[in-house]
Amino acid sequence: MNKHPFESRLKKSFTISLDEIHKIIVNFHDEMQRGLEGKESSLKMLPAFVDTPGGDEEGRFIALDFGGTNFRVLQVALDGHGSARIERTKKYVIPKAVMHGTGTQLFNFIAQSIRNFSFIDRSESAKKKDLGFTFSFPMKQTNIANGILINWTKGFSATGVIGKNVVTLLRDSLKRSGMSRINVVALANDTVGTMAARSYKDPLCDVGVIFGTGTNACYREAIANITKLPRAARSRKNMVINIEWGNFNRLPFIPYDELLDRATNNPGKQRMEKMISGMYLGEIVRLILTDLIREKHIFARSKGKFAKGDFKTYHMSLIEADNSKNLSDIKEYLDGVGMLKTSLEERRLLKKICALVSQRAARISAAAISAVVTRMDPNLSSNHTVAVDGTLYEKYPRFRRTIMSALKEIHGRRSARIKVVRAKDGSGLGVAIVAAAAAAQH
């Protein structure tokens, strides 16, 4: 079967060559350095005011894991020997009205949910509790329990929060809910939590990454290199840096990236996130399909179309996972959305398009991981564990495999020194570990 000319064009547009990967790494290093020096950079390089845990932290802690439309409250027990156990957990869904209402409404809703969680176990409800707070939005920290929201992402727009200390807002809401006995002792980004969860039992873990609705990473940096850090904060040898890498903007953009960017509520921002995260990949495919449908290259016998937001990354995952002879799962999905009378060739083309978009995402992700690890260890002289959490990494077919294969392409045999592991529930477990370390210092 001959390829259509547009297929070759698409493949060329979405292919990230090894040369391009090396260019991304060089640019990433440059932005990291500028961010650490406090110069203008697309990478904020935010100090997290915590180092990796020692593995001997112990006790029982509440963890609040807030980073999207769902948040979780957990009770975590640490045994002081590298083992962390989730004793109880409950998920809460934030109503849209609360996401887009006032900050007070949002934090009151969170506090009421913590109250609801705490009173499940009556025997524990009257005891004083230390709480670790995972807050997965860009924030500037000045210490372990103080974080100023820089800007909302992931569709949130609650007013009166940007520029405010989110720990103060949470503490105030807890007091209003009659929960003064809960003490917020630590604040961390979800990447920091993910890294802490793994490094509690694995001292080689020095990078934490999220590949989910959004994407971000953190890593361990020598204090001497964080020149923008005030001298008073330089008492320790190393500190975790929250990179906020979703905002990295020195990448090979194509017209579909520009189209998607212009249609978002934050044009010009989070450029890398828009190329590699679960919130946006489906929309890139939809933009391609819209073009191909209009030009009658695909689904010409069907009157169906995909409106904005109709095609999700979840659908891409389902499509790429279909290895049946007639691609019957893809047909069933297309029939269900009114895309009738599709041919096997059209279904194959749809699968190829999804693969091009997801492979580009995974190769850019590998370039970013490589940049972070080689920032710490330019020649890969040591072993490094990269802890990863997030649904895209966990559930998307071949995403992890493509990252590993790209790392091998970049580093050859030395890629074996980069161990990428899944840290399930990292952001919840990890912030409890961060809270334990912070409580021990008080």
| Angle (CA) 124 130 134, round 5° | 115
Counting Cα atoms < 13 Å in the Cβ hemisphere of 411 gives: 25
Q: Which of 65, 129, 130, 190 is catalytic?
A: 190
On whether the CB atoms of residues 151 and 162 are closer than 8 A, the answer is yes
Q: Which of 154, 269, 305, 352 is catalytic?
A: 154
CA–CA separation, 286 and 78 (whole Å)? 45
Terminal CA-CA length for the chain: 69
Q: Is 127 a catalytic residue?
A: no
* DSSP string for residues in 135-169: E-S-EEEEETTEEEE----TT---BT-TTSBHHHH
Hey, is 133 helix, strand or coil?
Answer: strand
Show Cβ contacts of residue 99 under 8 Å, excluding neighbours closer than 6 positions: 69, 106, 155, 156, 157, 158
Q: Is 291 a catalytic residue?
A: no
Which pair of tokens denotes residue 175?
């007091």
Beta strands per DSSP E along 57-138? 58-66, 70-79, 84-93, 129-135
Residues annotated as catalytic (active site), given as ranges: 154, 190
